[in-house]
Amino acid sequence: MVDSFVVAMEKAGGGNVKVAVAESGWPSDGSGNMSTPQLAATYNKNFMNHILKKEGTPRRPGENIEGFIFAMFNENQKPNGEDEKHYSLFYPNMQPVYDVFP
């Protein structure tokens, strides 16, 4: 997805604009069998590893990309469905939802 945005920016004359991934994540609970702590941990670990390796993307190899995990805390009051309440690293009591940091 980053490269598709980069290509669009290049076509619009903004090829030198740095791109950051503002929100990325995976629900640890909610609906269906694809919302598990194990899948969320795997997704976020892989996301962090890719960012930390500074390998960039096929369109911009070797370029450092900033990325941010969505979100810090689970929010049980969110109105947008069950998955949306479970995208974070920590429960409101500060306990981790899953182990993501080495």
**How far is 74 from 84, CA to CA, in rounded Å?**
9
Count of C-beta atoms within a 10 Å radius of residue 99:
10
User: Which of 55, 63, 75, 82 does the annotation list as catalytic?
Assistant: 75
Q: Are 70 and 24 in contact (CB under 8 A)?
A: yes
User: Which of 55, 63, 78, 82 does the annotation list as catalytic?
Assistant: 78
Q: Are 85 and 78 in contact (CB under 8 A)?
A: yes
User: Which of 18, 23, 54, 66 does the annotation list as catalytic?
Assistant: 23
Residue 55 among the catalytic residues:
no
CA distance to 13, 38, 61, 83, per residue, from 73 (Å): 38, 17, 33, 13
Residue 53 among the catalytic residues:
no
User: Which of 55, 63, 82, 84 does the annotation list as catalytic?
Assistant: 84
Rounded to the nearest 5°, which phi and psi values hold at 90?
-130, 150
Residue 45 among the catalytic residues:
no
Residues labelled catalytic:
23, 75, 78, 84
